[in-house]
């Protein structure tokens, strides 16, 4: 009977596009890694130049909140470093989300980028 529960659980997570369920501790650690990467992308002057964004990143409740803050982070970085540099930093932050979000929330390549 246990294997039925396990198979159901894994197939359910498969529907959500998680190849394997992520434990709470792994999710918490990776969330903090992403939070720190976003703050690092702002840099020391970014925290002073964009305190509202730094505050929102620090106090985002979960991984989803951090995902949606990428747009604000991109705008802040683009205004100080240019769009190309901002895009590179956002892309490196975006890769950290791999496996943590349902497939509907993952980024898709833009036809304009090719």
Domain housing 47: 28-98
Cβ-based neighbour number of residue 7 at 10 Å: 10
The band of 35, judged by pLDDT with boundaries at 50, 70 and 90, is very high
* Whole-structure pTM value: 0.74
pLDDT in tens, 41-70: 998 876 678 999 999 999 999 999 999 999
Residue 62 in any domain: the answer is yes
Residue 114 in any domain: the answer is no
**Torsion angle of the four alpha carbons 58, 63, 69, 73, in this order, in degrees rounded to the nearest 10:** 70
Q: Among 24-33, 41-50, 91-100, name the one with the lowest average pLDDT.
A: 41-50
State the distance between the two ends of the chain, measured CA to CA, in whole angstroms. Answer: 50
Cβ-based neighbour number of residue 1 at 10 Å: 5
Residue 83 in any domain: the answer is yes
Residue 82 in any domain: the answer is yes
**Residues with Cβ within 8 Å of residue 84, at least 6 apart in sequence:** none
**Closest of 10, 85, 77 to residue 69, by C-alpha:** 77
Residue 19 in any domain: the answer is no
Count of structural domains, the chain: 1
């Amino acid at each position: 009977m246990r294997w039925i529960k396990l198979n159901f659980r894994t197939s359910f997570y498969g529907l959500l596009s998680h190849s394997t369920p992520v434990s709470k501790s792994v999710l918490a650690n990776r969330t903090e890694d992403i939070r720190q990467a976003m703050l690092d992308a702002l840099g020391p002057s970014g925290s002073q130049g964009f305190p509202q964004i730094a505050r929102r990143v620090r106090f985002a409740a979960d991984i989803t909140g951090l995902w949606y803050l990428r747009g604000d982070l991109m705008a802040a970085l683009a205004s100080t470093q240019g769009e190309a540099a901002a895009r590179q930093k956002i892309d490196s932050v975006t890769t950290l989300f791999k496996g943590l979000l349902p497939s509907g929330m993952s980024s898709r390549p833009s036809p304009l980028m090719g």
